[in-house]
Amino acid sequence: MRPYTRSDRVGELIKETMAELLQKQISDPRLAGVTITGVKVSRDLRNAKIYFATPQGADTSQAASDGFARAYGFVKRELAQRLGLRYMPDLKFFYDTTIDYSARIEQLLKAVKRNDANHH
């Protein structure tokens, strides 16, 4: 089993803090309902990839990305203050496709089940 590294702990802190910021302090309508699904921080703590999902799926992912770009300075400043790190990682935001992918698989499985029921 892989040990829980400092970068993992920092990633979890960033995830929790980002969720709180989205809920309480960021009022950009493009980020309404956005969920932080994961954060991966490099071992040297210089870069953080923040993964998010939107309620409407991929259709609104570009608008959410634009919202994160607009709020970048505020988010980085708030994270730096709250986390107290010596160096604040560079933040990159990515749309998390796993929810869309799992929904598509679910849809395909239901279609197969319907077809199987129709043939029997």
CA geometry: angle 40, 42, 48, nearest 5 deg: 50
Q: Is 6-119 a domain of CATH 3.90.700.10?
A: no
Percent pLDDT > 90 in the chain is 62
Residue 120, pLDDT score: 65
For the entire predicted model, the pTM comes to 0.81
Each residue of 42-82: pLDDT tens digit?
Answer: 999 999 999 999 988 778 889 999 999 999 999 999 999 99
Structural domain boundaries in the chain? 6-119
Per-residue pLDDT at 99 exceeds 80: no
Cβ 93 vs Cβ 68: under 8 Å: yes
User: Per-residue confidence at 118, pLDDT binned at 50, 70, 90?
Assistant: confident
